[in-house]
Amino acid sequence: MTQDAYRYAIYLSPSGPLHSFGSQWLGRDADTGATLPPPPGMPAAPAEWLRAPAHYGLHATLKPPFRLADGANGAMVDAIARDLARRQAPFDAALALRALRGFVAWGLADGGSPPMQALADACVQAFDPLRAPPSAQELARRAPDQLSAEERRMAEAWGYPYVFGTFVFHITLTGMLDVAGQRAAIAQLEAASGKLLQAPLHVDRISVFVQPAHGEDFVVARHYGFDGSTVDRAGAAYLGT
């Protein structure tokens, strides 16, 4: 009998040089779960910078991690991902390195992208019927007293504060840092990866990530190309196909 994962997430997983550098920066490849050395010629970043983002793997959130509702299973996640991906068209997005809400990330250079917004909105809506409501403990971890009224409304309705009107695209590269730490991380990343951002991010797939069991690191289950192709990775068994 196929076993479902503890949690599922729908992420944008960069490919090519961004994937290689970002995974080495975090010290872990989410495709395989393997530990990686730092990028060539670059010293390892402090562990406290990387602990949180490495847990999730290199990604941008489209549908945040969720537990399955009663009656849902991994095969249903797979079916929705296949259908949604086939209905998308590829697009490009320019990236820039920036601080966001206390951490450092690759974000959109121009601040917004209608195709990216539309893709994120579609993912939030399409997978929501499979999502179990968040527990009181999960909601409390979002620190609702620190959220805006709109962010609290999104958290209550969709289980996550940053969707639809509050969505901000980002590929997380550090955990929460003080201002000095953010500046140091940006300087180190700019020196090592600034040229990577001269080429736009090409978006032609979405990916299902899984957390096999509570507390374990997330790994990629499957990449879904907008052309209908799929590529299985370390967590494919949790999709039931």
Report yes or no on 103 lying in a domain. Answer: yes
Number of compact structural domains in the chain: 1
Report yes or no on 1 lying in a domain. Answer: no
Per-residue tens of pLDDT for the chain, all 241 residues = 569 999 999 999 999 999 999 999 999 999 999 999 999 888 889 999 999 999 999 999 999 999 999 999 999 999 999 999 999 999 999 999 999 999 999 999 987 899 999 999 999 999 999 999 988 787 777 778 889 999 999 998 999 999 999 999 999 999 999 999 999 999 999 999 889 999 999 999 999 999 999 999 999 999 999 999 999 999 999 999 7
What pLDDT shows up at residue 118?
98
What pLDDT shows up at residue 181?
97
187-196 confidence digits (pLDDT tens): 999 999 889 9
What pLDDT shows up at residue 207?
98
DSSP summary character for residue 129: G
Task: Name the residue range of residue 179's domain.
Answer: 7-239
Report yes or no on 2 lying in a domain. Answer: no
pTM, two decimal places: 0.95
Neighbours of 197 (CB within 10 A): 17
- Please tell me the distance from the alpha carbon of residue 37 to that of residue 43, in angstroms, as a whole number: 9
What pLDDT shows up at residue 116?
98
- Strand arrangement of the beta sheet that strand 170-172 belongs to: 95-100, 103-108, 170-172, 60-66, 7-12, 205-211, 219-225, 230-232
Report yes or no on 19 lying in a domain. Answer: yes
- Give φ, ψ of 239 to 5 degrees: -100, 0
Q: Domain containing 176 — which CATH number?
A: 3.90.1140.10
| DSSP secondary structure letters along 64-103 | EEEPBPTT--HHHHHHHHHHHHHT---EEE-EEEEEETTE
What pLDDT shows up at residue 42?
85
